[in-house]
Amino acid sequence: MLEQVVLLAAVTVLGLLEQAYFSLKVIYARRKYSVSPPATTGPPEFERVFRAQANCSEYFPLFVFSLWLAGVFFSQALAVLFGLLYLYGRYLYFHGYAVSAQGRLEPLYFSAKMQWVLIALAGLGVICTITQAYLGLDLLHSFSHVLGLTEHT
């Protein structure tokens, strides 16, 4: 069982490390720009780093849930691929936002697309599992037939 989810766990650990890294960047920015807790405002340079970290943290639960649901119910390999791309996009987003508000946009759109792919895979996987378990319909197999990806039996 564990080998069926170990790659999902590895991507989750990478995501946790990325979140910790973003938090450390806020600590460094607080020191650099003399913004003591609990203050959340200061120079624009600090506020961009602070907002980038907050935005990444806000979306992290959505990422983790969709990663695991897509991996368990659809495909661990695809979930891992899109999960890694999502994390890469968030890394670029964080650093782009730290430089300028405009710098966050392209990575934001990229990571949002990766997130939506994970959500779609999760939803499709759950629906296919429900229809197979309770209706006896293998939707993925049927869809493969329609696309000509498998032999008709």
Closest CA to 11 of 73, 88, 74: 88
Active site residue 30: no
Q: How far apart are CA 23 and CA 120, in angstroms?
A: 29
Catalytic member of 30, 48, 51, 104:
104
Find out whether the peptide bond into 38 is cis, omega within 30 degrees of 0.
yes
User: CA 118 → CA 35, 81, 88, 107, distances in Å?
Assistant: 37, 10, 14, 17
Catalytic member of 31, 48, 51, 90:
31
Active site residue 90: no
Q: Catalytic site residues?
A: 31, 104
